[in-house]
Amino acid sequence: MAARALINVPPTAKRGEIVVIKALISHEMESGFRPNAVGQLIPRNIIKEFVCTYNGVEVFRAEFFSAISANPFLSFTTVATESGTVTMTWKGDNGFFATESVAIAVE
């Protein structure tokens, strides 16, 4: 099954208002430090980068490392400037790629 994401962006906001954006994605975040049942290291499989753009402009970026939990959850803020689309992208090991877009209406 493809990665599943849960996004929380307020559907409407007042111009200039600070809005909270929350993003949760399903990912095992295998650290690369754990041995398997026969003592060999399980290869690392993590998300490495998260980028959020608002109408094409980058508003938030995060780098992930091995110590980040499975199914990572991010919460951050931005200023509602105009109506448009908030797009989130996750990239990681083994070609992992996921993207989600939500509309926000600014009045």
Partner 1 sequence: MRIGHAAAALTILAGIVPAGAEIATAQRKSGYDFMARTTQAMQDGDTSNPGMLWVLDGAALWDRKAGAANRSCADCHGDAPTSMKGVAARYPEFNATLGRPINIEQRINLCRADRQQAKPLPYESKDLLALTAFVARQSRGQPIAIAEDEPTRRSVETGRAAFVRRQGQLNLSCAQCHDDNWSGRLAGNPLTQGQPTGYPIYRLEWQSLGSLQRRLRNCLTGMRAEAPALGAQELVDLELYLMSRARGMPIETPAVRP
CB of 23 to partner 1, least distance (A): 8
- Closer of 42 and 57 to partner 1 (Cβ): 42
Q: Does 34 bind partner 1 (CB under 8 A)?
A: no
Q: Which residues pair with 86 in a beta bridge?
A: 54, 102
Q: Does 103 bind partner 1 (CB under 8 A)?
A: no
Closest residue by Cα to residue 58 from 42, 78, 75: 78
Give the total of residues touching partner 1 (CB under 8 A). 15
Residues 6 or more apart from 99 whose CB is under 8 A from it?
A: 87, 88, 89, 90
Interface characters, 64-83, with partner 1 (x: CB under 8 A): -----xxx-x-x--------
Q: CA–CA distance from 82 to each of 8, 16, 35, 58 (Å)?
A: 18, 9, 49, 14
| Interface ranges with partner 1 (CB under 8 A) | 1, 4, 6-8, 22, 24, 26, 28-29, 69-71, 73, 75
